[in-house]
């Protein structure tokens, strides 16, 4: 099976992990993507935000959530009262998966195979950052940390207490910011995201 496992160094700090992840060939996604997009933020961060995978802009710039979904997320976090200096932002899958349509690269959702393959990087980030709270941005992040039966509906905006890699962990699930950009009623969808992030902010206080 595909796995990042052999590429993840033991006893590494975040800088060493990031450097090693740049050379990961744990699944086929590294072939067509521009670069690995590793997590960003301090190892002292209190909140870890987990997205799905880098998008087109993230793939080009090498940083998570710098494109349209990231801009929306930044705005929502500010409104919810989450200090960006207290966040570590990453993705379940570290390479951009896409199909080509004409000259454009269209986002393709990662499957269970890629999420599983990439999971050792997320596990290593978690072990180093040890966040007080994880915000799950959408179903892919939830499946990556809580198992394939995870659904956002029914649990969004709640503070869950679950075992993650054998450790008790508090998590707040919400929708993916990209889904807000695609929503029919964007304002309502955006308000919902801010409301869920406010729950996360209050859970930390």
Footprint of ligand URA (CB under 6 A): 51-55, 58, 64-65, 67, 69-70, 91, 178
Pick from 96, 93, 95: nearest CA to 122: 93
What minimum distance in Å lies between the beta carbon of 2 and ligand SF4? 7
Measuring CA to CA, how many Å separate 81 from each of 59, 89, 158? 28, 16, 17
Nearer to ligand URA, 46 or 107 (CB): 107
Told to check if 26 binds ligand SF4 by CB under 6 A, we report yes
- Out of ligand URA, ligand SF4, none, which partner does residue 93 contact, by CB within 5 to 8 A per kind? ligand SF4
Smallest distance from ligand URA to CB 157, Å: 19
With tokens 């029919």, the residue in question is: 184
Burial class (CB in 10 A: 0-12, 13-18, 19+), 29: buried
The interface partner of residue 30, options being ligand URA, ligand SF4, none and the CB cut-off 5 to 8 Å by kind, is ligand SF4
What tokens does 104 get? Answer: 């454009």
Residues in the chain: 205
The binder of 72, among ligand URA, ligand SF4, none, by C-beta within 5 to 8 A per type, is none
Neighbours of 130 (CB within 10 A): 13
Closest separation between CB of residue 54 and ligand SF4, Å?
A: 9
CB of 200 vs ligand SF4, minimal distance in Å: 26
């Amino acid at each position: 099976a595909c796995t990042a496992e052999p590429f993840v160094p033991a006893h590494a700090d975040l800088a060493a992990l990031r450097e090693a992840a740049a050379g990961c060939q744990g699944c086929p996604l590294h072939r067509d993507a521009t670069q690995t997009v590793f997590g960003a933020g301090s190892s002292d961060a209190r909140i870890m935000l987990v997205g799905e995978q880098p998008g087109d802009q993230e793939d080009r710039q090498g940083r998570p959530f710098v494109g349209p979904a990231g801009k929306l997320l930044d705005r929502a976090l500010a409104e919810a009262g989450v200090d960006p200096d207290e966040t570590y932002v990453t993705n379940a899958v570290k390479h951009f998966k896409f199909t080509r349509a004409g000259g454009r690269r269209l986002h393709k959702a990662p499957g269970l195979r890629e999420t599983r393959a990439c999971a050792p990087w997320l596990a290593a980030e978690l072990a180093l950052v040890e966040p007080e709270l994880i915000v799950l941005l959408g179903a892919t992040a939830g499946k990556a940390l809580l198992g394939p039966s995870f659904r956002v509906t029914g649990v969004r905006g709640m503070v869950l207490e679950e075992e993650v890699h054998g450790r008790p962990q508090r998590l707040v699930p919400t929708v993916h910011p990209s889904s807000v950009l695609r929503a029919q009623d964007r304002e309502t969808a955006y308000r919902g995201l801010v409301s869920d992030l406010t729950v996360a902010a209050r859970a930390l206080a």
